[in-house]
Amino acid sequence: MEVVLHLPVVPNVELVAAKAVEALGGALGMHQTHVEAASVAMVEACLNAMEHGGGPFTVRLRSENQESRPCLVIEVEDHGEGFDPATAPQNSASRVLGSTMKRGWGLTLIRELMDEVQIRSGPGMTQVSMRKYVESAP
Protein backbone atom coordinates (compact mmCIF):
# COMPACT_ATOMS: atom_id res chain seq x y z
CA MET A 1 0.00 0.00 0.00
CA GLU A 2 1.37 3.39 -0.93
CA VAL A 3 -0.11 6.88 -1.17
CA VAL A 4 1.69 9.84 -2.72
CA LEU A 5 0.29 13.35 -2.36
CA HIS A 6 1.65 16.45 -4.06
CA LEU A 7 0.25 19.26 -1.95
CA PRO A 8 0.01 22.99 -2.61
CA VAL A 9 0.49 25.53 0.14
CA VAL A 10 -3.14 26.34 0.95
CA PRO A 11 -4.87 26.69 4.33
CA ASN A 12 -5.62 23.39 6.09
CA VAL A 13 -4.07 21.22 3.34
CA GLU A 14 -2.31 19.36 6.17
CA LEU A 15 -5.69 17.80 6.97
CA VAL A 16 -5.65 16.03 3.59
CA ALA A 17 -2.41 14.34 4.65
CA ALA A 18 -3.87 13.56 8.08
CA LYS A 19 -6.86 11.86 6.38
CA ALA A 20 -4.44 9.66 4.45
CA VAL A 21 -2.80 8.63 7.76
CA GLU A 22 -6.26 7.73 9.09
CA ALA A 23 -7.07 5.62 6.02
CA LEU A 24 -3.77 3.75 5.87
CA GLY A 25 -3.41 3.38 9.64
CA GLY A 26 -6.95 2.02 9.82
CA ALA A 27 -6.27 -0.43 6.97
CA LEU A 28 -3.17 -1.66 8.83
CA GLY A 29 -5.25 -2.32 11.94
CA MET A 30 -3.45 0.35 13.92
CA HIS A 31 -5.04 1.38 17.22
CA GLN A 32 -6.96 4.67 17.01
CA THR A 33 -4.63 6.32 19.54
CA HIS A 34 -1.60 5.51 17.36
CA VAL A 35 -3.41 6.75 14.25
CA GLU A 36 -4.15 10.05 16.01
CA ALA A 37 -0.54 10.39 17.19
CA ALA A 38 0.71 9.80 13.64
CA SER A 39 -1.87 12.28 12.33
CA VAL A 40 -0.66 15.05 14.65
CA ALA A 41 2.97 14.29 13.67
CA MET A 42 1.96 14.43 10.00
CA VAL A 43 0.21 17.78 10.54
CA GLU A 44 3.35 19.21 12.20
CA ALA A 45 5.62 17.94 9.41
CA CYS A 46 3.31 19.49 6.79
CA LEU A 47 3.22 22.83 8.66
CA ASN A 48 7.03 22.86 8.73
CA ALA A 49 7.18 22.04 5.01
CA MET A 50 4.75 24.87 4.24
CA GLU A 51 6.54 27.36 6.49
CA HIS A 52 10.10 26.58 5.45
CA GLY A 53 9.75 24.79 2.10
CA GLY A 54 8.74 27.80 0.07
CA GLY A 55 6.28 25.98 -2.21
CA PRO A 56 4.45 22.75 -2.96
CA PHE A 57 5.61 19.70 -1.05
CA THR A 58 5.25 15.93 -1.29
CA VAL A 59 3.87 13.46 1.23
CA ARG A 60 4.39 9.71 0.87
CA LEU A 61 2.78 7.06 3.05
CA ARG A 62 3.31 3.32 2.85
CA SER A 63 3.03 0.23 4.93
CA GLU A 64 6.15 -1.78 5.69
CA ASN A 65 6.99 -4.94 7.53
CA GLN A 66 10.13 -4.12 9.47
CA GLU A 67 11.50 -7.39 10.90
CA SER A 68 7.96 -8.83 10.98
CA ARG A 69 6.65 -5.71 12.70
CA PRO A 70 4.11 -3.96 10.48
CA CYS A 71 4.38 -0.19 10.49
CA LEU A 72 3.24 2.96 8.77
CA VAL A 73 6.01 4.97 7.11
CA ILE A 74 5.46 8.67 6.44
CA GLU A 75 7.78 10.91 4.44
CA VAL A 76 7.31 14.65 4.02
CA GLU A 77 9.60 16.34 1.51
CA ASP A 78 9.99 20.01 0.72
CA HIS A 79 12.38 22.03 -1.41
CA GLY A 80 13.35 24.85 0.89
CA GLU A 81 16.78 26.04 1.98
CA GLY A 82 17.22 23.19 4.42
CA PHE A 83 18.57 23.23 7.96
CA ASP A 84 20.93 21.31 10.23
CA PRO A 85 18.74 18.89 12.24
CA ALA A 86 21.50 18.55 14.87
CA THR A 87 21.28 22.22 15.77
CA ALA A 88 17.51 22.67 15.37
CA PRO A 89 16.03 24.15 18.56
CA GLN A 90 14.46 21.73 21.02
CA ASN A 91 11.57 23.37 22.77
CA SER A 92 10.63 22.79 26.36
CA ALA A 93 7.63 23.89 28.37
CA SER A 94 9.77 25.75 30.90
CA ARG A 95 11.30 27.82 28.11
CA VAL A 96 7.98 28.69 26.48
CA LEU A 97 5.71 29.73 29.33
CA GLY A 98 6.10 33.46 29.92
CA SER A 99 7.96 33.94 26.64
CA THR A 100 6.56 35.78 23.64
CA MET A 101 7.97 33.02 21.37
CA LYS A 102 5.67 30.05 21.65
CA ARG A 103 6.33 28.52 18.22
CA GLY A 104 8.86 25.90 17.20
CA TRP A 105 7.27 22.77 18.63
CA GLY A 106 6.98 20.79 15.38
CA LEU A 107 10.11 18.62 15.54
CA THR A 108 9.75 18.05 19.29
CA LEU A 109 6.19 16.77 18.84
CA ILE A 110 7.14 14.61 15.84
CA ARG A 111 9.97 12.96 17.79
CA GLU A 112 7.77 12.34 20.83
CA LEU A 113 4.71 11.04 18.97
CA MET A 114 6.41 8.73 16.44
CA ASP A 115 8.51 5.61 17.06
CA GLU A 116 11.38 6.48 14.71
CA VAL A 117 12.26 9.76 13.01
CA GLN A 118 14.99 10.55 10.49
CA ILE A 119 15.65 13.97 9.01
CA ARG A 120 17.76 14.54 5.93
CA SER A 121 18.23 18.13 4.93
CA GLY A 122 20.37 20.17 2.60
CA PRO A 123 19.98 23.10 0.24
CA GLY A 124 16.89 22.47 -1.90
CA MET A 125 15.59 19.37 -0.11
CA THR A 126 14.43 18.44 3.36
CA GLN A 127 12.91 15.03 4.01
CA VAL A 128 11.34 14.06 7.32
CA SER A 129 10.87 10.31 7.47
CA MET A 130 8.95 8.80 10.36
CA ARG A 131 7.67 5.42 11.36
CA LYS A 132 4.84 4.29 13.62
CA TYR A 133 4.56 0.60 14.44
CA VAL A 134 1.14 -1.04 14.55
CA GLU A 135 2.07 -2.60 17.88
CA SER A 136 3.54 0.59 19.24
CA ALA A 137 4.10 1.42 22.89
CA PRO A 138 1.27 3.58 24.23
Binding footprint of other proteins on the chain (CB under 8 A): 12, 14-16, 18, 33, 36-37, 39-40, 43-44, 47, 91-94, 96-98, 102-103, 105-106, 108-109, 112-113, 138
Q: What angle do CA 99, 105, 111 make, to 5 degrees?
A: 145
Nearer to other proteins, 10 or 122 (CB): 10
**In a 3-state reduction of DSSP, which class is residue 20?**
helix
Min CB(113)–other proteins separation in Å = 7
Min CB(97)–other proteins separation in Å = 6
Burial 61-74 (b: 16+ CB within 10 A, else e): bebeeeeeeebbbb
Min CB(80)–other proteins separation in Å = 18
